[in-house]
């Protein structure tokens, strides 16, 4: 059989791209000798760089180089020149399916969303019930008879990323033998965030009971929140917000003995790095966007009063997150933290 030339048209958000990695692995396992490329938004490139399942990452910059009709036409020509014969269209948009059709890709597989069924050669029936995003993508593979061997997501880093983190931790006096806990207090919207006072109290408890070193991590926009937590804590943590790219963040999470995080990208990165992880959920559903696949992780979810998902940004008390007590998280941490330096 002649090896196929496969294009995976991916989604546009960092977390969802991570959810697509089991699908990418499944396609590679089904077609080990094929050429597999992934069409991707530029902000998501780091998520798939170094992924050995892919031969090529093709950037679709729809807000920049490919925004105009001329830019889209250039992209279509480039894809046509690459002579792909199969496209798996994970993105739900009409435009992405149209691009695949105009590029002359004979087999086009995806969900018939956005009135695009006529652009697909294999329109996959959408799940009748809400499923985890990983399964939503894998259903496309199942529709083609592909065997699913592993539902775990993947993220690949290199030794230079690990060395960078070693340097940061060493400069803060953290040795390789010390027990390290990373707290990720951010969230792309406020109701998803566990109270900062709780993160501070948890950090101090972990220092007191386990002798742990605490790192507060996140994006640059989380720096103010991290400093607030640092100022509340008795034991001063290391703050790395805004100091790492995604690959370096992956290295930090890999080094950690435990990660405690809200429903955020870093939480999923920690799971991808096979680090012990406690995920805190309130207004969102762990059934849809919780940690998934192999790994040592726990989800704490106590929202039994409100609809989920809840987008009430004016919510005054944020009970769904406030109901998660520090004691609840510490109890889980106590059962997950390894014995290290005689701390347990």
**pLDDT single digits (tens) 185-235:** 998 888 899 999 999 999 999 999 999 999 999 999 999 999 999 999 999
Cα–Cα dist 333/329, whole Å: 6
Flag whether pLDDT at 340 surpasses 60. no
Per-residue pLDDT of 250-266, as tens digits, reads 999 999 999 999 999 99
Q: Are strands 238-239 and 213-216 parallel, antiparallel or unpaired?
A: parallel
From first CA to last CA, the distance across the chain in angstroms is 57
pLDDT at 26 over 50: yes
| Whether the predicted pLDDT of 341 surpasses 60 | no
Give the start-to-end residue ranges of the domains of the chain: 5-143, 160-336
Q: What kind of architecture, by CATH, is found in domain 5-143?
A: 3-Layer(aba) Sandwich (3.40)
In the prediction, which pLDDT does 303 show?
79
> Does the 160-336 domain belong in CATH 3.40.30.10?
no
Q: Which of 189, 156, 153, 186 is nearest to 45 (CA)?
A: 156
Mean pLDDT of the chain: 94
Q: Give yes or no for a contact between 55 and 39, defined as CB atoms under 8 angstroms apart.
A: no
Q: How far is CA 185 from CA 4, 112, 129, 252, 262, in A?
A: 44, 37, 31, 15, 6
Output the pLDDT for position 22. 98
Beta bridge partners of 122: 109
For 57-74, the pLDDT digits (tens) are 999 999 999 999 999 999
Determine the number of helices (DSSP H) and then strands (DSSP E) in the chain.
Answer: 14, 12
**Could you check whether 5-143 and 160-336 share the same CATH topology?**
yes
The answer to whether the CB of 223 falls within 8 A of the CB of 234 is: no
Quote the pLDDT of residue 1.
66
pLDDT of residue 169: 97
Cα–Cα distance measured from residue 330 to residue 333, given in angstroms and rounded to the nearest whole number:
5
Q: Which of 133, 134, 102 is nearest to 119 (CA)?
A: 102
Determine the pLDDT at residue 339.
60
* pLDDT mean over 31-49: 97
Q: Cα–Cα distance between 63 and 53 in angstroms, integer?
A: 27
Kindly state the average pLDDT of the residues 146-155. Answer: 96
pTM of the model: 0.93
The beta strand positions in the chain, using DSSP E, are 5-9, 35-40, 56-59, 86-89, 107-110, 122-123, 180-184, 213-216, 238-239, 258-262, 277-281, 297-301
């Amino acid at each position: 059989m002649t090896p196929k030339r496969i294009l995976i048209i991916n989604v546009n958000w960092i977390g969802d791209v991570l959810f697509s990695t089991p699908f990418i692995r499944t396609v590679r396992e089904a077609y080990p000798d094929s050429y597999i490329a992934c069409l991707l938004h530029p902000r998501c490139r780091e998520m798939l760089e170094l992924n050995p399942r892919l031969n090529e990452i093709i950037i679709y910059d729809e807000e920049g180089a490919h925004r105009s009709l001329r830019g889209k036409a250039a992209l279509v020509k480039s894809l046509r020149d690459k002579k792909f014969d199969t496209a798996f269209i994970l993105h739900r948009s009409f435009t992405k399916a149209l691009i695949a059709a105009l590029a002359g890709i004979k087999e086009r597989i995806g969900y018939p969303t956005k009135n695009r069924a006529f652009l697909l050669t294999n329109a996959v029936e959408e799940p009748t019930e809400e499923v985890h995003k990983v399964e939503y993508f894998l259903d496309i593979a199942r529709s083609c008879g592909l065997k699913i061997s592993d539902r775990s997501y993947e993220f690949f880093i290199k030794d230079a990323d690990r060395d960078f983190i070693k340097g940061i931790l060493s400069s803060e006096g953290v040795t390789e033998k010390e027990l390290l806990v990373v707290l990720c207090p951010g969230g792309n919207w406020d109701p998803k965030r566990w109270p900062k006072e709780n993160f501070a109290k948890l950090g101090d408890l972990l220092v007191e009971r386990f002798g742990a070193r605490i790192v507060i991590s996140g994006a640059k926009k989380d720096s103010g929140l991290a400093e607030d937590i640092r100022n509340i804590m008795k034991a001063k943590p290391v703050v790395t917000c805004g100091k790492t790219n995604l690959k370096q963040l992956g290295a930090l999470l890999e080094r950690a003995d435990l990660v405690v995080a809200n429903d955020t990208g870093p939480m999923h990165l920690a799971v991808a790095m096979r680090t012990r992880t406690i995920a805190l959920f309130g207004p969102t559903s762990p059934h849809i966007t919780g940690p998934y696949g192999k790994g040592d992780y726990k989800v704490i979810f106590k929202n039994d009063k409100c609809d989920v998902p809840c987008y009430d940004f004016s919510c005054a008390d944020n009970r769904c997150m406030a109901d998660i007590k520090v004691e609840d998280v510490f109890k889980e941490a106590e059962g997950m933290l390894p014995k290290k330096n005689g701390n347990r």
